[in-house]
Amino acid sequence: MSNSSRTYVITGAASGIGRETKQLLESLGHRVIGADIRDAEVVADLGTPAGRASLVEQVTAISGGAIDAVLAIAGVDLGGPPTVAVNYYGAIATLEGLRPLLLRSNAPRAVAVSSITSVHPYNDQLLNALLDGTEAIALEKAEEVPFVYATTKRALSRWIRRNALKAEWAGANIPLNAIAPGLVKTELLKRLFDEPETRKRISAGTPMPLGGPYEPRAAAELLAWLASEQNGHMTGQTIFIDGGADVMIRGDSVW
Ligand code: NAI
């Protein structure tokens, strides 16, 4: 990876994959502006419109209006409307809101964190509301339908694919990608694994023949590459880093 120092913005920087990515990039000599709902340089609640606006305002002030990459990592698995608000609208607001700050970079990059659950069962009505409705409609739907977390991640990967080639992104030379982790040993997973039935269901739903659940460092390495100068030609992709779970679930018929 290049040695030239870059400025990165990472949401979800206080824990798990976000914290690991921040540490990795800092160890490589880069500047990282960490954002989170707690314990971060920029404290903002990405579950609300006011918090999302505050993220952009604070990052603009701290960075002086120029950054090299944005990594939308913050996410929750709480079910219902909070999951929709953070995982989908929070991530998109991060990418769209900070995009203007990327324009002064000579190698701007944007990455989000989707999930292996983006290829799990989902709810069609919620997916349509996310992709083509309003936040109010999607939040209402999320009160009553199953598979909310998986649906937010599917919608996020779809959003990346829908937008990557637009004038604002490819037209401005900004690669826009996502990663889809399998099971990663973070606070989020620990909370879910505390409950034996949930643990069983999640493990069965995400089989990982290659190495099983892993430490966040592996996801951080991939995020760091996608956000680096080296990634000049990959865009619109969701890269599975999942020990083979996507292959187990979807097989070879995706081509
Ligand atoms: P984590 O719980 O360790 O970290 C998530 C971070 O997001 C926390 O620091 C939390 O404070 C922050 N956050 C939560 N709500 C927020 C809000 N409203 N505003 C701002 N920040 C907020 O979880 P982990 O595992 O590191 O998750 C990172 C991303 O990876 C998430 O998008 C998650 O959905 C995704 N993911 C995680 C997997 C896993 O097995 N751990 C698997 C696939 C995807």
In degrees to the nearest 10, what's the CA dihedral of 193, 86, 171, 224?
Answer: -40
Tell me the percentage of the chain whose pLDDT exceeds 70: 99
* Cα separation, 157 vs 143, whole angstroms: 22
Q: What pLDDT was estimated at residue 1?
A: 45
For residue 17 and ligand 1, the question of a CB distance below 6 A is answered with: yes
* Cα separation, 159 vs 130, whole angstroms: 9
Say if domain 7-183+213-242 classifies as CATH 3.40.50.740: no
Q: What pLDDT was estimated at residue 4?
A: 85
- How much is the average pLDDT of 148-155? 98
Strand order in the sheet with 7-11: 42-43, 31-36, 7-11, 69-72, 109-113, 176-181, 238-241
**Tokens 């701290």 sit at which residue?**
62
Every domain of the chain and the residues it spans? 7-183+213-242
Q: Which residue, judged by its Cα, is nearest atom 33 of ligand 1?
A: 75
Q: Which amino acid is at 83?
A: T
Mutate to test the pocket of ligand 1, among 10, 11, 15, 23 (most ligand atoms within 8 A of CB): 15
DSSP H helical ranges for the chain:
16-27, 49-63, 80-84, 91-102, 124-132, 135-142, 148-163, 187-193, 196-205, 216-226, 245-250
Q: Tokens standing for 208?
A: 């990982």
The string of pLDDT tens digits covering residues 227-239 is 999 999 999 999 9
* Cα separation, 105 vs 7, whole angstroms: 9
For residue 189 and ligand 1, the question of a CB distance below 6 A is answered with: yes
Gyration radius (Cα) of the chain, Å? 17
Measured from the Cα of 116, ligand 1's closest atom is 43
* Cα separation, 69 vs 125, whole angstroms: 33
For residue 76, give the nearest of 43, 44, 101, 47 by alpha carbon. Answer: 47
The string of pLDDT tens digits covering residues 23-76 is 999 999 999 999 999 999 999 999 999 999 999 999 999 999 999 999 999 999
Active site residues: 149
The string of pLDDT tens digits covering residues 50-60 is 999 999 999 99
Judge whether residue 3 has pLDDT over 70.
no
**How sure is the predictor about 254, in pLDDT bands with cuts at 50, 70 and 90?**
very high
- How much is the average pLDDT of 76-88? 97
For residue 233 and ligand 1, the question of a CB distance below 6 A is answered with: no
